């Protein structure tokens, strides 16, 4: 097996083309950035100090190859895997900033290290930064200029913080609506995602920050992401996510991250077909391929196309690679989970290594990072790492905040506005007329959780404060919802009785002294890992703590659990006899834990426990990864992480509790809390009373998007439901006051059983650190909503692509292909069963992603793709379609007019229908988005829009021919304001 993607001739042209003259430091500092894009945006980001930009590197291909050949083997192998940053303390003005990845470079040759920051919602380091709106909000803007500003903002901030690579944008598409990371995507349509991603790439790289498109490919789900195989055919692959990756690559993206999941059984980072054949050969990608963190499984992933293993060498170790280069590697037989690998000779290993290093160096050259080498314009006689001047972080802050606000306002998607209840006026708020509700009105839901979560600068304004400021009146706030609950009182707890012989506790005879007393039994246990379903061992070594009774679990402040110790709290919880309902939420609040679990009534049922992974939870580090409802809002304990277990308990019902925590490197704090039904009913009753006495209500609701898990697991209906009792709250408030405006902070679709009971619905997504101000501006009409849905909002869970409408049994246990996939026979070994799931269900929809699925099945969603209202109105007229000679595409032109009385933005969308001439094996969408534009017009103003549709957009991918086939013949072209609202139509003959 050899890696036949060695530098192609195209690279020669790319590097040989116009070789800039050697520059002096002064000349370099004066260079202007030539951006690929043409941004027209607020002053934000446009005025950023620029670096010497992208594509300015002066090294030729022979010089790059010469650098590779001068490296020692350990220097080469050091380039192909991540490591801990050993130089941050000395080279960064701020010291170490906790970037996600680092490779050391080769200082001896003047090659600097590469630092890599997470994204895509900004720059994610261990300190505060500008938190931009979640990318799904950017997608809702349908605004390519905003995407360019988004990229530029990240680009400058990334460089200012010592970073060289941005692990973004994420262009996996929303294939089903409960994906944990949907908020990080650019929506469900590949054309939309590609157009925006291309501008993000251009913007970021114009500042000298290398963009990394992720996750290549088909990582559009979180549950089982490390093992699941996506079964996908060639046409689907080419006509869905690959479209967006291609656009990003054409925009010059320097890097691509391969994904955790498998594609047709083979791990994304070891897939010769998708990396070498498609990415390298078909799409001519010349940058470097980096693995997702831990996504490399074999050393052979290197010759199969991965250039860097992250976060460190697990497979691409220096020793193993040196051995492979010296001796080659033998053939490896197939296993249940891996296909067979042929023998690879030592020289083939060396060639693969050289190629990987060449990819990294050629990308660094594009980013102007090799000018301190012997061939660079900043060579001073001795190779010394040199990087272009970095902007000053503080000087970016104001511009970046302005960009965050402007993009959040752009993203505002108005889904309902009956009787024009919006925008609000100051008169609405007079005499206590306006009441604001919902926990995220005061604790801004600015970003989703996981590696995309950026900790924003302090001092950003909450929606409630911003509303008060614009209302210029006393606006009251009523939570309506209890996010944090309270510490479980000792009256509800009783210590375990050894005489009960409950099998899931480990009690000593001495513990009988506490039996039945109010509280839980606290025991010190060892920090050893506990096998699933097993009991932790009691800590019996000298110095261990004696068992004791804790009346409540409230170990905060000074009463903490020492670092590197482990504890267990056991006993019974008895629901009060008169709780006012049966719906309970148990909550664990904890910080600095290596791990923590709460088991309810046993050890084995995953559904009956809370698991909280390691979080060294200081607000400045990983704590930043928590979504808003995963962290405490209790002002007395702001640094605690929280997790919730919702359950039903009858009056007086008893459950067995087993709470464990292992403290990390610092002492842990832990609390056991609950939200009793009474709290919920009281919160709703108070909200209803407040709603009754108000003119208008603005109620904030949220969902929880986070990396690592999909919402609702395999229960799509639960995943699509607003968490907790928010639906009950909205329904009750709307019944009390029909003038209710719901503001959604969600990362993707939710079901809205109350949709017709409220007057207005405004989707603000996760709007970033300036989201409070942006939301208030939209509510009060200072900004006019112009966002459009980048994802379809279903009316019911069974409309989504996770339910096969032809399936006789759609229950979760049925045998129809459904999310989260099925375990099936091994594709490699006859008779063996795979040990991973195959998402035949997920891709059973094939090319029919998003709105195409709803169109194909002829079901009406709640709100269609591309839909959104405005405070003004628009008309379209004079549709004309002309074929273009140069590329055999079409130009679609029409007039758009603002027919209302306010300035506003509209997004006319162009869709194309099916071709009668394609072979029947090629599937076609009823209507496919092929063009859009975001247009801002004053009242009465009109503009002619012309959108170009390329030949490839008029084509379908033929898996049999392995190429695009033009869809000729008569085809419908529509212009409309959503996928379901065609307003102009013409038939065009494609030849």
- Could you tell me if 80 and 124 are in contact, meaning their C-beta atoms sit under 8 angstroms apart? no
Closest CA to 578 of 516, 653, 646: 653
- Scan residues 497-536 and list those touching ligand BGC (CB under 6 A): none
CB of 274 to ligand BGC, least distance (A): 17
Residues sharing a CB contact under 8 Å with residue 363, sequence separation 6 or more, in sequence order: 210, 254, 255, 286, 287, 288
Q: Judged by CB, which is closer to ligand BGC: 118, or 354?
A: 118
Q: Judged by CB, which is closer to ligand BGC: 58, or 451?
A: 451
Specify the DSSP class assigned to residue 668.
Answer: B
x/- track of binding to ligand BGC for residues 854-893 (CB under 6 A): ----------------------------------------
Q: Sheet harboring 210-216: ordered strands across?
A: 101-103, 114-118, 165-167, 210-216, 255-258, 288-291
Cis peptide before 893 (omega within 30 of 0): no
CB of 181 to ligand BGC, least distance (A): 8
Q: Judged by CB, which is closer to ligand BGC: 181, or 856?
A: 181
Write out the two tokens for 619. 């607000």
Residues sharing a CB contact under 8 Å with residue 340, sequence separation 6 or more, in sequence order: 331, 332, 333, 334, 828
CA distance 931 to 682: 50
CB of 166 to ligand BGC, least distance (A): 10
Q: Judged by CB, which is closer to ligand BGC: 291, or 595?
A: 291
Residue 2, CA distances (Å) to 77, 259, 311, 345, 771 in order: 18, 22, 25, 9, 51
Report if residue 118 touches ligand BGC, rule: CB under 6 A: yes
CB of 652 to ligand BGC, least distance (A): 44
Specify the DSSP class assigned to residue 279.
Answer: I
- Could you tell me if 105 and 83 are in contact, meaning their C-beta atoms sit under 8 angstroms apart? no
x/- track of binding to ligand BGC for residues 327-366 (CB under 6 A): ----------------------------------------
Q: Judged by CB, which is closer to ligand BGC: 222, or 547?
A: 222
Q: Sheet harboring 969-976: ordered strands across?
A: 928-932, 909-912, 969-976, 982-990
CB of 215 to ligand BGC, least distance (A): 6
Residue 66 C-beta-side C-alpha neighbours within 13 Å: 11
Q: Judged by CB, which is closer to ligand BGC: 118, or 399?
A: 118
> By CB under 6 A, how many residues form the interface with ligand BGC?
7
Residue 324, CA distances (Å) to 216, 220, 317, 346, 347 in order: 27, 35, 10, 6, 9
Report if residue 182 touches ligand BGC, rule: CB under 6 A: no
CB of 931 to ligand BGC, least distance (A): 30
Report if residue 218 touches ligand BGC, rule: CB under 6 A: no
Pairing between strand 493-494 and 566-574?
Answer: antiparallel
Q: Judged by CB, which is closer to ligand BGC: 310, or 552?
A: 310
Residue 465, CA distances (Å) to 26, 269, 425, 433, 476 in order: 48, 47, 16, 16, 11
CA distance 764 to 771: 8
CB of 971 to ligand BGC, least distance (A): 38
| Residue the block writes with tokens 């020793």 | 319
CB of 118 to ligand BGC, least distance (A): 5
Q: Judged by CB, which is closer to ligand BGC: 316, or 358?
A: 316
CB of 158 to ligand BGC, least distance (A): 13
Q: Judged by CB, which is closer to ligand BGC: 239, or 707?
A: 707
CB of 86 to ligand BGC, least distance (A): 19
- Could you tell me if 901 and 939 are in contact, meaning their C-beta atoms sit under 8 angstroms apart? yes
Q: Output Rg (C-alpha) for the chain, integer angstroms.
A: 29
CB of 398 to ligand BGC, least distance (A): 28
Report if residue 292 touches ligand BGC, rule: CB under 6 A: yes
Residue from 214, 280, 673, 696 in contact with ligand BGC (CB under 6 A): 214
Q: Judged by CB, which is closer to ligand BGC: 315, or 784?
A: 315
Residue 293, CA distances (Å) to 311, 370, 388, 440, 839 in order: 5, 26, 28, 32, 22
Residue 677, CA distances (Å) to 482, 643, 682 in order: 10, 18, 8
CB of 100 to ligand BGC, least distance (A): 4
Q: Judged by CB, which is closer to ligand BGC: 377, or 706?
A: 706
Q: Judged by CB, which is closer to ligand BGC: 150, or 358?
A: 150
* Angle at CA of residue 411, ends 408 and 417, nearest 5°: 115
Question: To 10 degrees, the CA torsion angle through 758, 762, 766, 768?
Answer: -130
What end-to-end distance do the CA atoms of the chain give, in Å?
43
Pairing between strand 262-263 and 266-267?
Answer: antiparallel
Q: Judged by CB, which is closer to ligand BGC: 268, or 772?
A: 268
- Scan residues 68-97 and list those touching ligand BGC (CB under 6 A): none
Residues sharing a CB contact under 8 Å with residue 667, sequence separation 6 or more, in sequence order: 560, 561, 562, 563, 592
Cis peptide before 820 (omega within 30 of 0): yes
CB of 85 to ligand BGC, least distance (A): 14
CB of 450 to ligand BGC, least distance (A): 7
- Scan residues 440-459 and list those touching ligand BGC (CB under 6 A): 451
Q: Please tell me whether residue 67 adopts helix, strand or coil conformation.
A: helix
Q: Judged by CB, which is closer to ligand BGC: 118, or 547?
A: 118
x/- track of binding to ligand BGC for residues 147-176 (CB under 6 A): --------------------x---------
Report if residue 706 touches ligand BGC, rule: CB under 6 A: no
CB of 157 to ligand BGC, least distance (A): 17
- Could you tell me if 458 and 128 are in contact, meaning their C-beta atoms sit under 8 angstroms apart? yes
CB of 320 to ligand BGC, least distance (A): 23
- Scan residues 550-569 and list those touching ligand BGC (CB under 6 A): none
CB of 451 to ligand BGC, least distance (A): 4
Q: Judged by CB, which is closer to ligand BGC: 255, or 905?
A: 255
Closest CA to 769 of 153, 41, 148: 153
Q: How many other C-beta atoms can be found within 10 angstroms of the C-beta atom of residue 331? A: 10
Report if residue 293 touches ligand BGC, rule: CB under 6 A: yes
Report if residue 100 touches ligand BGC, rule: CB under 6 A: yes
Q: Judged by CB, which is closer to ligand BGC: 140, or 167?
A: 167
Q: Judged by CB, which is closer to ligand BGC: 293, or 780?
A: 293
Q: Judged by CB, which is closer to ligand BGC: 269, or 729?
A: 269
Report if residue 102 touches ligand BGC, rule: CB under 6 A: no
CB of 706 to ligand BGC, least distance (A): 12
Q: Which residues of 20-45 are buried (b: 16+ CB within 10 A; e: fewer)?
A: eeebeeeebeebebebbbebebbebb
Residues in the site for ligand BGC, rule: CB under 6 A? Answer: 100, 118, 167, 214, 292-293, 451
């Amino acid at each position: 097996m050899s890696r036949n993607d060695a530098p192609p001739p195209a690279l020669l042209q790319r590097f040989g083309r116009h070789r800039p003259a050697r520059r002096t430091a002064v000349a370099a500092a004066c260079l202007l950035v030539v951006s690929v894009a043409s941004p027209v945006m607020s002053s934000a980001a446009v005025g950023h100090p620029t670096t010497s930009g992208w594509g300015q590197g002066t090294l030729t291909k022979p010089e790059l190859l010469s650098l590779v050949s001068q490296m020692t083997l350990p220097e080469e192998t050091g380039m192909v895997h991540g490591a801990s940053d050993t130089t941050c303390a000395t080279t960064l003005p701020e010291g170490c900033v906790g970037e996600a990845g680092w490779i050391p470079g080769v200082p001896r040759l003047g090659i600097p290290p590469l630092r890599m920051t997470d994204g895509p919602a900004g720059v994610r380091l261990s300190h505060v930064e500008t938190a931009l709106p979640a990318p799904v909000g950017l997608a809702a803007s349908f605004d390519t200029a905003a995407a360019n500003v988004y990229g530029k903002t990240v680009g400058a901030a990334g460089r200012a913080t010592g970073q060289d690579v941005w692990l973004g944008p994420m262009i996996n598409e929303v294939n089903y609506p409960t994906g944990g990371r949907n908020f990080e995507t650019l929506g469900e349509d590949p054309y939309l995602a590609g157009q925006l991603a291309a501008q993000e790439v251009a913007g970021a790289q114009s500042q000298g920050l290398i963009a990394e498109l992720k996750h290549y490919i088909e990582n559009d789900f979180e549950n089982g992401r490390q093992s699941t195989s996506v079964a996908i055919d060639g046409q689907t692959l080419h006509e869905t996510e690959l479209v967006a990756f291609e656009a990003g690559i054409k925009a010059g993206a320097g890097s691509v991250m391969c994904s955790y999941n498998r594609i047709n059984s083979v791990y994304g980072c070891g897939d010769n077909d998708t990396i070498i054949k498609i990415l390298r050969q078909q799409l001519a990608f010349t940058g470097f391929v980096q693995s997702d963190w831990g996504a490399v499984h074999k050393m052979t992933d290197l010759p199969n196309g991965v250039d860097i293993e992250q976060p460190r060498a697990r497979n691409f170790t220096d020793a193993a690679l040196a051995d492979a280069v010296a001796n080659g590697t033998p053939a490896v037989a197939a296993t249940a989970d891996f296909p067979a690998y042929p023998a690879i000779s030592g020289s083939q290993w060396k060639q693969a290594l050289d190629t990987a290093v060449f990819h990294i160096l050629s990308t660094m050259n594009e980013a102007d990072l090799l000018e301190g080498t012997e061939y660079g314009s900043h060579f001073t006689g001795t190779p010394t790492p040199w990087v272009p001047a970095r902007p000053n972080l503080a000087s970016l802050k104001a511009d970046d905040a302005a960009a965050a606000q402007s993009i959040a306002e752009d993203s505002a998607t108005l889904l309902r506005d009956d009787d024009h209840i919006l925008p609000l006026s100051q008169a609405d708020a007079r005499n206590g007329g306006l009441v604001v509700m919902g926990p995220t009105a005061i604790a801004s839901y600015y970003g989703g959780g996981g590696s995309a979560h950026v900790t924003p600068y302090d001092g950003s304004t909450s929606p409630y404060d911003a509303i008060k400021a614009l209302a210029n009146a006393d606006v009251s706030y009523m939570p309506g919802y209890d996010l944090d609950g309270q510490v479980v009182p000792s009256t509800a707890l009783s210590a375990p009785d050894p005489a009960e012989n409950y099998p899931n506790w480990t009690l000593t005879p001495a513990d009988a002294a506490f039996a039945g007393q109010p509280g839980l039994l606290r025991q010190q246990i060892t920090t050893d890992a506990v096998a699933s379903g097993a009991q932790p061992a009691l800590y019996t070594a000298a110095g261990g703590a004696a068992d004791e009774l804790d009346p409540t679990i409230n170990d905060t402040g000074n009463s903490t659990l020492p670092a590197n110790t482990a504890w267990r709290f056991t006993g019974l919880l008895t629901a009060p006899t008169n709780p006012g309902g049966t719906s309970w939420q148990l909550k664990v609040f904890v910080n600095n834990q290596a791990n923590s679990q709460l088991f309810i009534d046993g050890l084995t049922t995953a559904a009956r426990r809370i698991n909280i992974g390691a979080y060294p939870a200081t607000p400045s580090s990983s704590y930043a990864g928590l979504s808003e409802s995963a962290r405490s809002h209790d002002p007395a304990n702001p640094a605690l992480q929280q997790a919730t277990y919702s359950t039903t308990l009858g009056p007086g019902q008893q459950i067995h509790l087993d709470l464990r925590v292992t403290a990390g490197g610092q002492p842990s704090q832990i609390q056991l809390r609950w939200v009793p039904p009474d709290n919920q009913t009281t919160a709703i009753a108070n909200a209803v009373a407040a709603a009754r006495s108000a003119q208008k209500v603005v109620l904030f609701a949220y969902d929880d998007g986070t990396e690592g898990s999909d919402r609702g697991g395999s229960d799509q209906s639960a995943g699509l439901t607003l968490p907790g009792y928010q639906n009950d709250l909205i329904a009750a408030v709307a019944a009390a006051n029909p003038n209710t405006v719901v503001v959604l902070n969600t990362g993707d679709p939710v079901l809205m059983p109350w949709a017709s009971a409220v007057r207005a619905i405004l989707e603000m997504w996760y709007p970033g650190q300036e989201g409070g101000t942006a939301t208030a501006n939209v509510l009060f009409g200072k900004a006019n909503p112009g966002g459009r849905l980048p994802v379809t909002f279903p009316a019911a869970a069974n409309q989504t692509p996770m339910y096969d409408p032809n399936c006789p049994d759609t229950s979760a246990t049925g045998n129809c292909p459904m999310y989260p996939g099925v375990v099936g026979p091994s594709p490699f070994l006859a008779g063996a069963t795979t040990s991973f799931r195959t998402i035949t269900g997920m891709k059973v929809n094939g090319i029919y992603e998003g709105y195409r699925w709803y169109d194909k099945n002829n079901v009406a969603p709640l709100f269609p793709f591309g839909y959104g209202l405005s405070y003004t109105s628009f008309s379209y007229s004079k549709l004309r379609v002309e074929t273009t000679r140069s590329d055999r595409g079409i130009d679609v032109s029409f007039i758009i007019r603002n027919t209302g009385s306010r300035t506003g933005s509209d997004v006319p969308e162009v869709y194309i229908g099916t071709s009668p001439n394609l072979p029947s094996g090629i599937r076609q969408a009823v209507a496919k988005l092929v063009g859009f534009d975001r247009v801002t017009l004053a009242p009465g103003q009109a503009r002619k829009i012309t959108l170009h549709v390329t030949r490839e957009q008029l084509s379908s991918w033929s898996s049999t021919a392995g190429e695009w086939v033009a869809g000729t013949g008569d085809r419908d072209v529509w212009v409309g304001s959503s996928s379901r609202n065609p307003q102009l139509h013409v038939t065009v003959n494609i030849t």
